Structure 1
């Protein structure tokens, strides 16, 4: 499963159920670029999830006080970053909030992202996930559902250049959106209450809504040319007024934003931009005259993508000069070396990163991958243990299962190699292959052993998802 940078893993669908030692677990995904405005109702299964240890820790800490304020169980609620340049966030069933990479790129502060998460938690707590009866995939409930961006948004609007809906389709869309209108208002109110209970100012939330209002104006949609389709949505200006009245009377209104969280946000944003954008765009936003930590982070990724190893390592080392024990800086240096074909040199920084991060599973997986990549049997025993520990703490990481399968195969343990392959394939939706490998694993494992039972579980799941009781 090729990746540009191995700690950012890939899957073609959103995961079934998240959770990990630091808060949540996800099938991995690679990152996509920048923000572009569009509010189309894209099927959830068409999306991919972005995995990065530092980003996951940040989102966990950012959302924790809001989840507590909502009354939801923190162990059951997850905030996940999605590979989508659209400025959006949504819920799609279960207690999971999905935040698009485009939204992070558009936001200027951690407080703005926090305001979005508070709103989406209002949808979760209110049980607002809506399923399209005409499709098998969950349909997004979006903070942008009030805007011009749903797939049906062009109905009656030739200037949008998106075609015209048939009368029946437009009526169905209107019914759907009239339902979501009340949910949006409810989520607004709930989100405001969560921010208040957590002692967080609503200034960030209002700042983000003002960005949306500017987008409405930029795209030329005014109230006078709203169709009945549009009238089913509350306008952003109306929501801003309502929320302003609420936030400005809240005791937390004048409370300063958390400077430590803002510092972490700027790191995350730069890191994602460096990975997502073209190197040329990265160097425009973060020029070489900028020696801040975010700029060094972004440029290290940009130079690495350009195969400029010396420059990438120079910026990674500059980061480590500011904090030699930062596990994410060490992880970055290890990644650069590994991707550049120097796995033996990557081992030391990745071992340190794994230890300093308390064996964070994504970082540990990269460490195991580096040891395997040396093709030195002296590293195999340690690599196997590291990868076994990683999947024990994060079972829904297909890249880790793939690496574990490789090490089992190299050690001659073919039944467990087949089991690891079945795990990986079930997570990436390759259920036919998962069934074959699970059956092969069962045949070679001791009957009744934990691994044999787990192979059976995968087999039963694969049969169910394939829609038939396939014979062995």
Structure 2
């Protein structure tokens, strides 16, 4: 039974890893997304993929992990950013995950599970035959051996894919002229964790792993990296400085304030420390201290849109809405209407409850969703503006946009139908309402295939 439980645990882990990011907690931040795209773009290009078609998504999860789950998207856990010391280490992880994408490993994973399922089913049938013949002990032995073989098949298939992704990642780093030092250093961190936890290649904990142990990976890759012309290539100091800002911002946002203030004490006057403390103070409702940190950052670089965004966010979330408008307007202009910053500015304009600001809010928010449709917060704010103006068809269309992103497909279908009925026939918004309706209906049908169709149709 322990062997069976291990098998089902491995299968469950694979299913969970493949869950769409929308089902998890996605962290969105303009500065962080720009940074991740900038460090990934040369690797994406080196892999033969188009940089604009590969998305790097940050997941709010403290574990040290990264994965791909279909399509051309790399998902990185916040815990991995926290564990990494350099941007070069993160690039090593991204290169590895790109190897999974170019290798089609998510699609081909079905081959491994199909083979394992075949072994498992055959062993259970053989065991059942032995049981019917009266050989109960033999039946149990046959089934347990079959389950062990099935699990071994899955793990062997997974390790093969990991080794292939390692090799591909090394090639992409080399082609991009990026050193593999960071990759080895990050594997070294994983190896230290395994050593502390007592994992060995030949023990049970090691056997049930889907990845080769980090010591093996380091040994296999070291010779490749050390002979590569990019081995001694130094990291870009500007990139590394940006990485330290990202780490500090992430910790300030997700960690408990006392932990942030421990790692970034008041004696630390560096830019990353000021960023981290601004968020920590904000979470503690120490607005004066948070604003002092934000003002100190702006004094260092008045043209940095992310510093202005930080100050505007603190003011807005502290109820000082009118004061938040100026820094957020500047941040929007300096960032060339970056969608996430613009959506926050649009929200601030609406929060003033001054109808004189609604025209600007609509313009800002429409620009935001035109460049980034996958922002339910911006769609909600835009819907508020439309409703205030009495434009209910477009308000319902904005509601449908956010509902389909939140997987509320039945509600999205109804909202899209209501929007379509009130919009001018053939207009771009009318066509979009139709598209959302078709999309929601198709997704509802997919859900129905996995549930009771009769009940699903009655809910519709």
Tell whether 2:69 aligns with 1:92: yes
1:182-197 to 2 correspondences below 5 Å: 182-197=160-175
- Separation in 1, partners of 2:91, 2:206: 32
Moved more, 121-130 or 110-119: 121-130
Whether the 8 Å contact between 1:173 and 1:229 is mirrored in structure 2 is no
CA pair 295-169 structure 1, distance change in 2 beyond 3 A? farther
Whether the 8 Å contact between 1:178 and 1:233 is mirrored in structure 2 is no
Tell me by how many angstroms 1:234 deviates: 2.5
TM-score, structure 1 normalization:
0.82
1:81-126 deviations in whole A, cap 9, x for unaligned?
1121110011111111111111000000000000000111111111
Aligned to 1:126: 103
Aligned to 1:393: 371
1:109-152 deviations in whole A, cap 9, x for unaligned?
00000000011111111111158769xxxxxxxxxxxxxxxxxx
1:129-148 to 2 correspondences below 5 Å: 129-130=106-107
Whether the 8 Å contact between 2:155 and 2:209 is mirrored in structure 1 is no
Aligned to 1:352: 330
**Structure 2: gaps of 5 or more residues:** 1-11, 112-142, 449-455
CA pair 183-199 structure 1, distance change in 2 beyond 3 A? same
Give the length in aligned residue pairs.
Answer: 404
1:250-265 to 2 correspondences below 5 Å: 250-265=228-243
Aligned to 2:45: 68
Aligned to 2:359: 381
- Separation in 1, partners of 2:147, 2:363: 55
CA pair 228-346 structure 1, distance change in 2 beyond 3 A? closer
Whether the 8 Å contact between 1:368 and 1:384 is mirrored in structure 2 is yes
**Structure 1: gaps of 5 or more residues:** 1-38, 135-164
Tell me by how many angstroms 1:446 deviates: 1.4
Higher RCO (Cα < 8 Å, 6 or more apart): 1
Larger proportion of helix:
2
Compute the RMSD of aligned alpha carbons.
Answer: 2.2
Which of 439, 445, 458 is residue 423 of structure 2 equivalent to? Answer: 445
1:263-302 to 2 correspondences below 5 Å: 263-302=241-280
- Separation in 1, partners of 2:204, 2:387: 62
Aligned to 2:187: 209
Aligned to 1:157: none
Tell me by how many angstroms 1:230 deviates: 3.9
Whether the 8 Å contact between 1:92 and 1:130 is mirrored in structure 2 is no
Tell me by how many angstroms 1:238 deviates: 1.3
SS in 1 for 2:165: helix
Whether the 8 Å contact between 2:65 and 2:79 is mirrored in structure 1 is yes
Larger radius of gyration: 2
SS in 2 for 1:98: strand
- Separation in 2, partners of 1:83, 1:227: 26
1:207-260 deviations in whole A, cap 9, x for unaligned?
000001001101111234247944875221111011110011111111111111
- Separation in 1, partners of 2:246, 2:349: 27
TM-score, structure 2 normalization:
0.84
